[in-house]
Chain A
Amino acid sequence: MSFPQRLRDTFLASEINFLAENELVDVLPKTSMDSLPLIGTNLPKLRINQKVSIPIWLAIILKKQNKINLIPPNWLSINYLKQKYEEELKNKDKFSEMPWFWLEFSKMFLIHFKDDLIDPSYSIRSIIQDLREIRLIKIRSGFKELNESNLTFNNLSLMEINEIRPFAIKVMDQLRKLNHSIESSYQSQNNDHDNDNDNENDNENGYQNDYGYEYDDDYNIDIDMNK
């Protein structure tokens, strides 16, 4: 078996984590160290208290050896996250903008760089959890928008996309197959719809068509409606 089934439809959480670890973070070295050539980058020469950007996986190793301190990113603070949470509450059908790997980042920072964070880690943890839950609820309510053609998923992070991927793709593929098989009968009835479409183009929510699933005029439903 060259590639197991469970890996084919989507990424494993650990693989997303791997991708997140490639991202750069700012750190302050506590000691100096010579530069080191690597395969995917070169570790720059470390000088005491001179800020450098290095990949997270490297920062984790250096932190364990007590060589560096992390400079926490702006978004990892109670104030910022609270504000995002408010935003999520206010805009029912829109996701607020978060880093592409915010879930993995916050987890890694909370585990490996606890003492470098400005706010207490337990309160960051709880607000992250709140954010996560409110976004999950929105994602689930967005499932009814699934169609056979296309969808936008703006401001969702890779981990969040990854979680819904197997389900969303399966549903969309099934709808496509269903649609394909009814296409011939659908076409004859569709002539009337076509004329109506011009007047209904601003109808964002789509309407129930004869076949029982949501169908959008321009085949382009924005979950976040952020046009």
Chain B
Amino acid sequence: MDIDDILKELESDINLKRPKSVNSAKIKEDEYKKLVQIWISERMSPELLPYESELIETILKRLRSQVEIIELNSIELEKNDKDIKLKLLIIESEIERINFLVRSYLRLRLFKIDEYNLFINNSDQEMVKLSKNELNYMVNHFKTICQLYNDSFLKNVPEHLQLLDDESGGISMINKPDLDKMVFIKVINEIAEEITVGEDDKVELEKDFIYAIRYRSVKRYIDSKDIVLI
């Protein structure tokens, strides 16, 4: 994305500013709520969740145009707007808040990608959860790490001990997310069937109730958004 694109987007945003009113506020609020929820979910789920590229793109785009507004106005304060300083303060505070969310979300994902590097690398199902940048990061990071290990000590140990993803002997070297971890959830929509917990015990999850339960047993409903992580 270069500066021309940013300016173009800014222009189109300014042109659209008038007609958008009540309706767009609602859309923005929903998107913001969604951003907050994906941050909470990513934070509390043991595994990596699919990357919300569309949402993050929209938010980043709006972030950029807000930054532009600040820059434009700090060069030349609009004389006829007496509240401009307060407005800039509000815009700036909001940018800080959104920045925090996005940054925390991305860093959290990087941590999980580092942690479960080999596991994600070995599974197509996991790979599609990554964004393009994250994929790039993972591959390169892994290459660098392998290089480092090789150069510093692996080349000196017997060949059969050089593996980084040895699964023989009953103990796997591959770090996997613990899907049986307990998570706190809130039931949003009616869940028709009983949930299996433990070996073959079943519980009925009631709407609006809060439970601590195994991630694996409710994963399906978290994906379908009938249950949210808290």
Q: How far is the CA of A150 from the CA of B209 in the complex (A)?
A: 12
Report chain B residues within 8 Å CB of A122. Answer: none
Beta-carbon contact of B182 and A153 below 8 Å: no
Beta-carbon contact of B91 and A38 below 8 Å: yes
B108 within 8 A of A: yes
A137 within 8 A of B: no
Q: How far is the CA of A36 from the CA of B86 in the complex (A)?
A: 11
Residue of A nearest to B112 (CB): A3
A172 within 8 A of B: yes
Shortest CB distance B195–A (Å): 8
A200 within 8 A of B: no
Known: A18-B97, A165-B184, A169-B182. A36 touches B91 (CB 8 A): yes
Known: A2-B114, A38-B94, A61-B93. A153 touches B25 (CB 8 A): no
Report chain B residues within 8 Å CB of A168. Answer: 182, 212
Beta-carbon contact of B87 and A154 below 8 Å: no
Report chain B residues within 8 Å CB of A76. Answer: none
**Size band of the interface chain B makes with A:** 35 or more
Q: How far is the CA of A169 from the CA of B183 in the complex (A)?
A: 7
Known: A37-B20, A152-B209, A219-B203. A43 touches B90 (CB 8 A): yes
Q: Interface readout for A28-69 with B: 1 if CB under 8 Å, 0 if not?
A: 000001111111111110000000000001100110010100
Shortest CB distance A179–B (Å): 8
Shortest CB distance B190–A (Å): 16
Beta-carbon contact of A183 and B91 below 8 Å: no
Beta-carbon contact of A172 and B29 below 8 Å: no
Report chain B residues within 8 Å CB of A38. Answer: 28, 66, 90-91, 94
B143 within 8 A of A: no
Beta-carbon contact of A172 and B212 below 8 Å: yes
**Size band of the interface chain A makes with B:** 35 or more
Beta-carbon contact of B94 and A40 below 8 Å: yes
Beta-carbon contact of A3 and B210 below 8 Å: no
Beta-carbon contact of B20 and A3 below 8 Å: no
Beta-carbon contact of B94 and A152 below 8 Å: no
Residue of B nearest to A148 (CB): B198
Q: Interface readout for B180-219 with A: 1 if CB under 8 Å, 0 if not?
A: 1111100000000000011101011000011111100000
B62 within 8 A of A: yes
Beta-carbon contact of B25 and A41 below 8 Å: yes
Residue of B nearest to A153 (CB): B210
Beta-carbon contact of A39 and B94 below 8 Å: yes
A19 within 8 A of B: yes
Query: Could you give 11 example pairs across A and B, Cβ below 8 Å?
Result: A3-B110, A18-B97, A39-B62, A39-B95, A40-B94, A149-B198, A149-B203, A150-B211, A151-B212, A153-B210, A172-B212
Q: Which 7 A-B pairs have the closest CB atoms?
A: A40-B32, A3-B111, A42-B25, A2-B110, A150-B213, A2-B111, A219-B201
Taking Cβ atoms with an 8 Å cutoff, the residues of B that contact A are: 17, 20-21, 24-25, 28-29, 31-32, 35-36, 40, 43, 59, 62-63, 66, 81, 83, 86-87, 89-91, 93-95, 97-98, 100, 107-108, 110-111, 114, 180-184, 197-199, 201, 203-204, 209-214, 230
